[in-house]
Amino acid sequence: MSEEKKILEMIEKGQITAEEGMELLQALREVEDKEENIVQEYHNPIEKREFKFLRIKVTTENGETKVNVNIPLKLIKALGGILPHANNLIPEDVKEQMNEKGINLSSIDFNKILGALESGELEDTVLVDVETYDEEDGKTQVKIYVE
């Protein structure tokens, strides 16, 4: 017996009021709508995209580009085994400067990032978007993203 029919029979038998029955029917419809949305999401997964480049841009407040690096993702994938150890390749004084600014590469799970890039299922293509300020350049934006 359908849930709706059970609710109508309860109203007919006087077990619940018509108002209570309406509330139950509304709640039942909401649950059915949620179930339908879940099924649609399951059948319509995130669109896979094939990313080609990891782009790193550092620009100053006045629009000057300080860094503009485009790395083919195929190269990154080929170097995948090295990336988790990238922190060891950075000079200690540079690491100290990065740590002072709150940047700690050892906390980044490069294998997880590579997996997301390979699957093509990233929802947000911007991986890092940071603004800093220094006296020499003013506001500086660091943006790392894939295309």
Residues 76 and 127 in one domain: yes
In total, the chain counts a number of residues equal to: 147
Residues 140 and 98 in one domain: yes
Pairing of strands 53-60, 65-72: antiparallel
Query: What is residue 43's predicted lDDT score, i.e. its pLDDT?
Result: 58
Q: Can you point out the beta strands (E) in the chain?
A: 53-60, 65-72, 126-134, 138-146
Looking at the DSSP bridge assignments, the partners of residue 142 are: 58, 130
Residue 46 has pLDDT above 60, yes or no: no
Residue 59 has pLDDT above 60, yes or no: yes
Residues 87 and 125 in one domain: yes
Q: Give domain status of residue 48, yes or no.
A: no
Residues 30 and 66 in one domain: no
Give the domain range for residue 24: 3-43
Residue 25 has pLDDT above 60, yes or no: yes
* Number of domains comprising the chain: 2
pTM of the model: 0.51
Average pLDDT taken over every residue of the chain:
78
Residues 59 and 100 in one domain: yes
Residues 64 and 34 in one domain: no
Residues 39 and 78 in one domain: no
Q: What is the largest CA-CA distance in the chain?
A: 81
Residues 39 and 62 in one domain: no
pLDDT digits (tens, 9 = 90+) for 96-131: 877 787 777 777 777 777 777 777 777 778 888 888
Residues 93 and 135 in one domain: yes
Q: Phi first, then psi: give them for residue 38, nearest 5 degrees.
A: -65, -45
Q: Regarding predicted confidence, which is higher, 96 or 19?
A: 19
Angle, helices 3-12/18-43, rounded to nearest 10 degrees: 180
Residues 77 and 39 in one domain: no
Residues 39 and 57 in one domain: no
Distances (CA, A) of 67 to 22, 36, 41, 58, 74: 63, 47, 39, 5, 21
| Summary count for the chain: helices (H), strands (E) | 5, 4
Q: Give domain status of residue 80, yes or no.
A: yes
Query: What is residue 80's predicted lDDT score, i.e. its pLDDT?
Result: 66
